[in-house]
C-alpha cells in the first residue's frame, strides 16, 4: 500500500491484521497551519479479501470528546468494521491532539476552525491522492460541523468531495449562553482543558468550547471564527449533503433548519436520541440500522458506493 505522498511528509505508523480486517495507520504532517507540530493520524480499514479499487473512499470523523475508536467498537464490531466487511474503503481521521494524533504544541488553542481551515483539507487531499478519487465524508456531531465550516470558508472545495453526511447535531443546541451575562459568567469560571466522560474519553480545549459558545450567543453567528456567514455560504454549494439528526428535529440553528427546508441538506429518516446514537454506532446489533438510511441516500445519488455481494472475493488492497 502507498505510504508516501507528494503533498507533505507521511509515514506508515503501523500495519496490523485484525482477523478478517487490515488496519493501516498513517501519520501525515501537513505543515499548513501556524502550529508546525501538528501530525494527524488517519487509519485505513479494509477487508482482507475485498478489492476497493472501484469504491469511493469514505472518511469518518468524530465529534467532540471522541476519537476514531468510536467507529470501531470494543471488539471491531462497530460501524467502520461493518462497512469495511461489506466492501467499503474506510478511513478514520483523528483530530489534532486526539486519538492516535499527537498532542500538538498549541493544543490548548485548538478550535473547530483549525480543523476546518487546515486539518480536514489535508486529510481529504491525502485520501484522494492515495485512492485517486474524491472521498465521501461522514461526520459525527461537531465533526460534521467542522466539515461544513471547511466548505463554507473555501478551505475545502466542494469538488474535493463526492458527498457529505452528518450524524447527530453539527453544533451544540442553544443554551443559556444566548444571554450576554451568561456568556461572561461562563468565561470567568471556565479554566483549562476539560473532560466530559459522558460524551467520550478525550480532552477538549477551552478555546474550542469558547468558539462554539461565542458563535451561538446573542451577538454571534456560525462561521464568525472563519469570518464567514456559515449558513449563507452553504446555501451556494451544489455538493450532495445529508444529515441524520436526533428525533428532536424541530430544534437547532435557524440556518440549519433553513438548509433542510430548502433541500440543500437532506434530512434522512431514522433519527435517534443523541445518547442512543453513540451507543448504536459501537454496537454490532445496531450499526446496520444506522447505516441503512445513509446507504439508501447514496443509492439515490447513483454514486459508486454500493455494498459488494458477500460472494465477491478479490485480492486485498
Q: Is residue 4 part of a domain?
A: no
**Residues of 136-163 as b/e, b for ≥16 C-beta within 10 angstroms?**
bbbbbbbbbbbbbbbbbbebbebebbbb
Q: What are phi and psi of 316, to 5 degrees?
A: -65, 150
- Is 59 in a helix, a strand, or coil? strand
Q: What are phi and psi of 278, to 5 degrees?
A: -65, -40
Q: Is residue 178 part of a domain?
A: yes
* pLDDT tens digits, 175-224: 544 444 444 445 444 445 688 888 899 999 999 988 998 898 666 789 99
Bridge partners, residue 138, by sequence = 60, 165
Q: Is residue 313 part of a domain?
A: no
Q: Which of 2-11, 36-45, 167-176, 299-308 is the most confident on average?
A: 36-45
pLDDT at 46 over 80: yes
Pairing of β 241-244 and β 266-267? parallel
Q: What are phi and psi of 84, to 5 degrees?
A: -65, -40
Give residue for cell 456531531.
141
Instruction: Identify whether the C-beta of residue 58 lies closer than 8 Å to the C-beta of residue 135.
Output: yes
The mean-pLDDT minimum among 50-54, 90-94, 101-105, 126-130 falls in 50-54
Residue 287, Cβ density class (10 Å: 0-12 exposed, 13-18 middle, ≥19 buried): buried
Q: Is residue 311 part of a domain?
A: no
Mean pLDDT rounded to a whole number for the chain: 85
Q: Is residue 317 part of a domain?
A: no
CA angle 10, 16, 21 (to 5 degrees): 115
Q: Is residue 207 part of a domain?
A: yes
Instruction: Identify whether the C-beta of residue 43 lies closer than 8 Å to the C-beta of residue 91.
Output: yes
Mean of pLDDT values over 138-153: 97
Q: Tell me the C-alpha distance between 96 and 104, whole Å.
A: 7
> What are the counts of helices (DSSP H) followed by strands (DSSP E) for the chain?
11, 11
- Ranges of H-type helices in 50-179: 69-72, 79-85, 112-114, 120-131, 142-153
Q: How many domains does the chain have?
A: 1
pLDDT at 93 over 50: yes
Q: Is residue 307 part of a domain?
A: no
Which domain range does residue 289 map to? 10-301
* pLDDT tens digits, 266-312: 999 765 666 677 777 877 778 888 888 888 888 888 665 544 443 33
Q: Is residue 314 part of a domain?
A: no
Amino acid 199: pLDDT:
86
Indicate which CATH number applies to the domain containing 97. 3.40.50.1820
Joined together, the cell numbers standing for residue 220 give 454571534
Amino acid at each position: 500500500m502507498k505510504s508516501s505522498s507528494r503533498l507533505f511528509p507521511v509515514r506508515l505508523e503501523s500495519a496490523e491484521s485484525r482477523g478478517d480486517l487490515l488496519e493501516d495507520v498513517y501519520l501525515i504532517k501537513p505543515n499548513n497551519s501556524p502550529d508546525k507540530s501538528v501530525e494527524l493520524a488517519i487509519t485505513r480499514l479494509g477487508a482482507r479479501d475485498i478489492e476497493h479499487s472501484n469504491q469511493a473512499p469514505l472518511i469518518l470523523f468524530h465529534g467532540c470528546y471522541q476519537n476514531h475508536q468510536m467507529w470501531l467498537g470494543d471488539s471491531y464490531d462497530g460501524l467502520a468494521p461493518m462497512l469495511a466487511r461489506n466492501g467499503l474503503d474506510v478511513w478514520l481521521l483523528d483530530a489534532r491532539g486526539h486519538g492516535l494524533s499527537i498532542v500538538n504544541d498549541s493544543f490548548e488553542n485548538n478550535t473547530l476552525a483549525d480543523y476546518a481551515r487546515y486539518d480536514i483539507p489535508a486529510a481529504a487531499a491525502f485520501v484522494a491522492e492515495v485512492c485517486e478519487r474524491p472521498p465521501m465524508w461522514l461526520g459525527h456531531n461537531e465533526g460534521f460541523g467542522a466539515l461544513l465550516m471547511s466548505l463554507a470558508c473555501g478551505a475545502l472545495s466542494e469538488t474535493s468531495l463526492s458527498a457529505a453526511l452528518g450524524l447527530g447535531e453539527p453544533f451544540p443546541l442553544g443554551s443559556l449562553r444566548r444571554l450576554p451575562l451568561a456568556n461572561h459568567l461562563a468565561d470567568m469560571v471556565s479554566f483549562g482543558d476539560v473532560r466530559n466522560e459522558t460524551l467520550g474519553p478525550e480532552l477538549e480545549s477551552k478555546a474550542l468550547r469558547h468558539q462554539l459558545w461565542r458563535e451561538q450567543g446573542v451577538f454571534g453567528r456560525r462561521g464568525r471564527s472563519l469570518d464567514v456567514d456559515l449558513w449563507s455560504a452553504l446555501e451556494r454549494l451544489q455538493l450532495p449533503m445529508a444529515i441524520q439528526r436526533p428525533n428532536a428535529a424541530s430544534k437547532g440553528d435557524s440556518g440549519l433548519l433553513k438548509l433542510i427546508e430548502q433541500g440543500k441538506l437532506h434530512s434522512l429518516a431514522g433519527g435517534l436520541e443523541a445518547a442512543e446514537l453513540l451507543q448504536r454506532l459501537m454496537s454490532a446489533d445496531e450499526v446496520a440500522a444506522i447505516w441503512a438510511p445513509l446507504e439508501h441516500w447514496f443509492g439515490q445519488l447513483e454514486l459508486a458506493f454500493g455494498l459488494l455481494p458477500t460472494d465477491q472475493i478479490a485480492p486485498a488492497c
